[in-house]
């Protein structure tokens, strides 16, 4: 599932094509693609509205209209891309006809969803702090982690706590900060939490530069995959040697996810 860097990559490549375009129509042959509004209401609401901006919130691509917002979640296999025509392909979940182009939502497994919100606050309140935003300070993270009693992996995956982090980048950040994924949050040292703050920011920023990570499905403009996979330090490296200490990397289950860690660098 795309995490913050992958979604940010898509947003940055969509902006030049979509800003200023007017929505002419919308069509879908998959009724469940619209999550919180029916297709007739959606079409009536968005028709003739101009796209003022394309932004990201958490793991959502957001079309900012003159009145209201369209958040789109790609989930496992979703792709959102502009095209000069409607492709004659399988798995097209939805199509926005715009002034000059079509915006195509292709989704093989049909888990992706499109939402509608009249007010930004109704959508924004569902998500935690942005880890690349100004409010995500070392002091905030220190206070927030130490005030909770949860496993670190589960806490960092919680979208109500920090928005946009997922399995890949949580494992990378925990390894960088030398924190065991099953550590209890209020028992982690202040030194490690401060390191975690720096690691989260640095890893996300670097991943964006590389256009995110592709294992199977993720791609952005023209089907190009992200290339951060070659930079991964711990994720998906079970049985290989830790790049810090040469200890064999282990894989366990944490927060219901396959989790990679170093038994020497990340002691409980």
pLDDT tens track for 1-27: 799 999 999 999 999 999 999 999 999
Q: Which residues have CB under 8 Å from 166's CB, separation 6+?
A: 1, 2, 3, 4, 59, 157
Q: Are residues 187 and 252 in the same domain?
A: yes
For residue 262, list its beta bridge partners.
249
Q: How far apart are CA 58 and CA 181, in angstroms?
A: 22
* 170 within some domain: yes
Whether 57 and 142 share a structural domain: no
Contacts of residue 121, defined as CB under 8 A and 6 or more positions apart, other chains included, come to: none
Decide if 201 is inside a domain. yes
Among the residues of 72-231, which ranges form H helices? 120-124, 138-146, 152-157, 167-176, 190-209
In a domain, 32, yes or no: yes
130 within domain boundaries: no
Convert the pLDDT of each residue in 91-140 to its tens digit: 999 999 999 999 999 999 999 999 999 999 999 999 999 999 999 999 99
CB atoms within 10 A of CB 230: 7
Helices (H) and strands (E) in the chain, counts: 7, 10
Catalytic residue among 12, 150, 194, 257: 257
**Which one is catalytic: 3, 6, 8, 172?**
3
Which of left, alpha, beta for 44 (phi over 0: left; psi -120 to 50: alpha)? alpha
State the catalytic residue, choosing from 57, 59, 79, 153: 59
H or E segment and range at residue 23: strand 23-27
Tally the domains of the chain. 2
Active site residue 2: yes
Task: Judge if 41 and 87 occupy the same domain.
Answer: yes
268 occurs within a structural domain? no
Residue 40, domain CATH: 3.20.190.10
Check if 119 is active-site. no
End-of-domain residue from the set 124, 148, 172: 124
Q: Are 150 and 252 part of one and the same domain?
A: yes
Stretch (H or E) spanning 70: strand 69-73
Interval 155-213: pLDDT, tens:
999 999 999 999 999 999 999 999 999 999 999 999 999 999 999 999 999 999 998 88
173 and 142 share a domain? yes
CA distance 186 to 92: 46
Of 2, 71, 82, 131, the catalytic one is: 2
Residue 257 is among the residues annotated as catalytic for this protein:
yes
Q: Are residues 256 and 144 in the same domain?
A: yes
């Amino acid at each position: 599932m795309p995490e913050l860097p992958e979604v940010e990559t898509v947003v940055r490549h969509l902006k030049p094509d979509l800003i200023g375009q007017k929505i002419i129509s919308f069509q879908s042959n998959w009724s469940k693609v619209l999550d919180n509004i029916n297709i007739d209401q959606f079409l009536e609401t968005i028709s003739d509205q101009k796209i003022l901006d394309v932004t990201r919130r958490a793991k959502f691509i957001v079309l900012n209209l003159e009145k209201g917002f369209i958040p789109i979640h790609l989930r496992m296999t979703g792709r959102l891309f502009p095209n000069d025509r409607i492709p004659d392909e399988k798995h097209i979940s939805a199509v926005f006809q715009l002034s000059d182009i079509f915006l195509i939502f292709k989704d093989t497994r049909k888990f992706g969803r499109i939402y509608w919100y009249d007010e930004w606050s109704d959508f924004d309140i569902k998500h935690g702090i942005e880890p690349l935003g100004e409010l995500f300070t070392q002091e905030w993270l220190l206070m927030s982690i130490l005030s909770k009693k949860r496993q670190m992996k589960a806490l960092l995956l919680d979208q109500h706590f920090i928005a946009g982090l997922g399995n890949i980048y949580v494992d990378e950040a925990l390894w960088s900060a030398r924190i065991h994924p099953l550590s209890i949050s209020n028992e982690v040292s202040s030194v490690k939490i401060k390191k975690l703050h720096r690691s989260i920011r640095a890893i996300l920023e670097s991943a964006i530069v590389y256009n995110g990570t592709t294992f199977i499905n993720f791609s952005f403009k023209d089907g190009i995959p992200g290339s951060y996979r070659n930079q991964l330090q711990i994720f998906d490296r079970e049985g290989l040697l830790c790049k810090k200490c040469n200890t064999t990397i282990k894989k366990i289950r944490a927060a219901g996810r396959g989790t990679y860690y170093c038994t020497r660098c990340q002691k409980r």
